[in-house]
A and B are shown apart, each in its own frame.
Chain A
Amino acid sequence: NAGVTQTPKFRVLKTGQSMTLLCAQDMNHEYMYWYRQDPGMGLRLIHYSVGEGTTAKGEVPDGYNVSRLKKQNFLLGLESAAPSQTSVYFCASSYPSRGYREQYFGPGTRLTVT
């Protein structure tokens, strides 16, 4: 049981390049989330999904797109990277049952855009 995994762990992009971050979970969780973490700003929600085939915008969605084609995977795409997207990105998942709800986080992807 690997929990939540993220690929890649590190990446350096040039301005204007594109990339996709992959999140995978093996806990059969319905909900999945993408956050970014910046110094002094805590965690900010980018996009999230409450089930396979569904996505919704979070607090800071501009410049990002997501897809949830399979229940276990949640992809975050940057079509044209900007230096402002330099950050640490975390994926998380949770189970919506009333007694649970806590989120399980991946180890993070450190992205630098030059």
Chain B
Amino acid sequence: AQSVAQPEDQVNVAEGNPLTVKCTYSVSGNPYLFWYVQYPNRGLQFLLKYITGDNLVKGSYGFEAEFNKSQTSFHLKKPSALVSDSALYFCAVLNTNAGKSTFGDGTTLTVKP
């Protein structure tokens, strides 16, 4: 069975500082990994994905994520946080055989001015 863990319920950073939102996964076979963002009272929006290739993946709004196979991690990063980045972030892993994804419990990111 596949699983995703987001070890931090909440991450607080100051505007302009770098941010990291952590994600670890467990899956048999090659992982398909995703990050989504949810703003209040909205649906989830796709940020970026790792399918294959470079371990550093770039996505929307200046976010990037680093895939680390040995540590089974896929941490979301941004060099300089904005107040508007404050939202709920979800990591997900796709079961390609079944066509369904497993989501983490989410991490609330708060960026303070």
Closest Cβ of chain A: how far from B54's Cβ, in Å? 14
CB–CB B49/A107 < 8 A: no
Is the C-beta of B43 less than 8 angstroms from some C-beta in chain A? yes
Q: Which residues of B contact A41 (CB under 8 A)?
A: 105
Q: Give the interface residue-count category, chain A.
A: 20 to 34
Over the window 78-107 of chain B, the binary record of Cβ atoms lying under 8 Å from chain A Cβ atoms (1 yes, 0 no) is 000000000000100010101111111110
Which secondary structure dominates where chain B touches chain A? strand
* Residue B51 lies at the interface, judged by CB distance under 8 Å to chain A: yes
> Are B100 and A48 in touch, CB under 8 angstroms?
yes
Query: Do B45 and A33 touch across chains, with their CB atoms under 8 A apart?
Result: no
Chain B: how many interface residues by the 8 Å CB criterion?
Answer: 23
Shortest A41–chain B CB gap in Å is 7
Contact of B99 among A31, A35, A105, A108 (CB under 8 A): A31
Enumerate chain B residues within 8 angstroms of A102, measured Cβ to Cβ. 34, 46, 49
A103 touches B101 (CB 8 A): yes
Pair A42/B51 contact, Cβ less than 8 Å: no
- Which residues of chain B come closer than 8 Å to A56, judged between CB atoms? 98, 100
**Of the candidates B32, B41, B46, B105, which one forms a contact with A42 in the assembled complex, judged by CB atoms under 8 Å apart?**
B105
Chain A positions within 8 Å of B, measured between CB atoms, are: 4, 31, 33, 35, 40-43, 45, 48, 50, 56, 58, 90, 92, 96, 98-99, 101-108
The 26 sampled A-B contact pairs (Cβ below 8 Å) are A4-B43, A31-B99, A35-B103, A40-B105, A42-B90, A42-B103, A43-B90, A43-B103, A45-B101, A45-B102, A50-B99, A56-B98, A58-B100, A92-B44, A98-B51, A99-B51, A101-B51, A101-B94, A102-B34, A102-B46, A102-B49, A103-B46, A105-B43, A107-B42, A107-B43, A108-B43
